Structure 1
Amino acid sequence: MDDQAHAARTMWNCLHAWWQMMPKDKRTLAAADAAIRQARTDLDFLAKLPAQASQALLKTYFRAWVNCWGGRADEPNFKARFRTVMSVDIPQGRDLNIVRVHRRWGMVNLPKIGRVRFRWTKDLPVGRRAGTDNRITGARLVKDALGWHIAFRIQTLEAEPQPHQGPDVGIDAGVNIPLALSNKDHQDHGRPPRLPDGTADRDKWLTEKEKARLLKLERQAAHRKSFHKKGEKTSRRLQHTCDQIKQLRAKATRRALDWQHHTTTYLARTYGVIVVEQLNIIRTWSSPLGAPPRSRARTSKPRPASTAPSHKRRGDARSRC
């Protein structure tokens, strides 16, 4: 799976370079498809990516340009190796052959990988439950700190939701209280936002034992980096220490996202209308009403020129060189 994800990222970068190199009148889907086919034929590591995934990547790239031309997004750019989420798209759902083994696990066919077992967490329209209006149309493989995950695309008919009968409430995000509601039903995660010395606690989602372990690992990494020379390959010990730090950071991120998911689900089920304050950040930095506008170009006043005679010797200017 890692090889396919790296091939997909490389294919995106090659396609973006090809798109910028070609004249505007030759930037067509047919020409791009021919270039992708030729690249998969000439380069073995690009051939590891399935053909259907390559076609889906081309459609995604062209859709990014359409959104850019419509003013809804920025221009697509190159994807970096370490800052890009590893993912592979499976646009065709007819060959997945999803089978539920028992209530916790299922099996699925992945292109160029074979039969893979996955954990069954949601009800999927397979077997008798599948139909014309309720079926799986594709999937997507995504890798994070816990490993590889699979997300299925499902086409289904949903009934039009009825108006929510819950009350209205105003909401505001803060520092000491994460979500403050107008009816005093504040949502707090129970973790102090600041340390005893008043500084912000960036590791508030970790326990005290995990914080101590993180501090120890960061000191180990700093100590081992002091022996690392520029251009040298990273040692196994330093890489192992950085991996442990990354795992702790990922654990804190998952806890924060889990709290956000549970809190937003509770608010959506409880209240019918949630009103957010329309705070104009730009106006808060403008000049007060009735005062002359302040220029942000120069923040300090110019100093008056000194009329006192200079007592510097001739050698002073040369001594500083």
Structure 2
Amino acid sequence: MWAPKIGHVLFRWTMGLPVGKRVDELNKVTGARLVKEADGWYVVFRVQTEVPEPAEHTGPTVGIDRGIAKPLALSDGSFREHEPWLTPGEAERLRRLEKARERRRRSRKKGETTSRRLARTYDQIAQLRARAKRRAVDWQHKVTTELAEVFSRVGVEDLAITNMVKSARGTVGNPGRNVRQKAGLNRAIAGEAWGRTVTLLEYKAAQRGGTVVRVPAPNTSRRCSACGLITPGSRETQARFACKAGCGYEANADTNAARNIDHAAGSAVSGRGDLGGTRSAKRQPPTKPHAV
């Protein structure tokens, strides 16, 4: 490969180009660029390919609830889970490196340049975090590909993730409460990368003739997916839902929320219908039966 101001650069192929042997005006490489990551340099190719119009997907529908304890809970009662992105040894090494970084930063005088030892610590931390991100992206690609191939319509909550991960620190005059707990929750949400999961799912579903529908988030976890009522106390614990309205429905709380998401995705063409309701018991508009 020839790079401007550098010359010819040797690189190692890690995957083939999707254009294959057919190269014409509709299937060709249109550009390439060098990208520096924490673990080295990469060549990223931009490729134009002709994609046939997909046939309409005829599979079942599903609702997905995104969470922390259960990364993805499906309305059919199944879950998509993963191990921690870093092994216990890697997590301990990252903790030690971060402590060393703070210790060396405190010992550095104001205006003094970064020492080689501190710069090396920065690089080691970046490499471990990049490894965790690669594992997360790999898991998300595999799971979203599976979901896009099986289900014709996928319902997800239309979450304002940026607002969800705002700090609870507050101000000097009005300090926040449970700041450390909220910071830990924010890190957990950011580590799951909920927005990236939906982005991957949207284009993969479109490639296979399916759709992704975003529905309003309020009350999806409080409403009974069997009778459609919102009754105080139905969410018994963080993980258990038992309807107090009399229908007797019990399920995992995330599964119940996923069923509500699937119902809402089927009842609103735009995926932004009204799921609101401030009263203690309000029925959901009639929807299509839940498809497993």
TM-score by length of 2: 0.51
Find out whether 1:185 has 2:78 as its counterpart. Answer: yes
Q: Secondary structure at the match of 1:274?
A: strand
Q: Would you tell me which structure has more helix in proportion to its own residues? A: 1
Query: Which of 131, 135, 139 in structure 2 is aligned with 1:255?
Result: 135
State the 4+ residue runs in structure 1 displaced beyond 6 angstroms: none
Q: Deviations over 1:210-264 (max 9, x none)?
A: 1221222222222222321111111111221222112111111211111111111
Residue 206 of structure 2: aligned partner: none
Distance 1:124 1:289 in 2: 54
Shift of 1:125: 4.2
Report percent identity of matched pairs: 48
Q: Is the 8 A contact 2:34 2:42 kept in 1?
A: yes
Residue 194 of structure 1: aligned partner: none
Q: Secondary structure at the match of 2:112?
A: coil
User: What does 1:1-321 align with in structure 2 at a 5 Å threshold?
Assistant: 108-120=1-13, 121-123=15-17, 125=19, 129-189=22-82, 191=83, 204-277=84-157, 278-280=215-217, 288-289=278-279
Q: Structure 1's 166 and 119: CA in aligned 2 closer, same or farther, altered over 3 A?
A: farther
Q: Structure 1's 237 and 112: CA in aligned 2 closer, same or farther, altered over 3 A?
A: closer
Distance 1:222 1:175 in 2: 28
Distance 2:136 2:58 in 1: 29
Distance 1:172 1:213 in 2: 33
Distance 1:280 1:274 in 2: 15
**Relative CO higher for 1 or 2, CA cutoff 8 Å, sep ≥ 6?**
2
Distance 1:288 1:218 in 2: 46
Higher Rg: 1
Q: Structure 1's 119 and 162: CA in aligned 2 closer, same or farther, altered over 3 A?
A: farther
Unaligned stretches of 5+ residues in structure 1: 1-107, 192-203, 291-321
Q: Is the 8 A contact 2:27 2:48 kept in 1?
A: yes
Residue 53 of structure 1: aligned partner: none
Q: Structure 1's 281 and 231: CA in aligned 2 closer, same or farther, altered over 3 A?
A: farther
- Aligned residue pairs: how many? 168
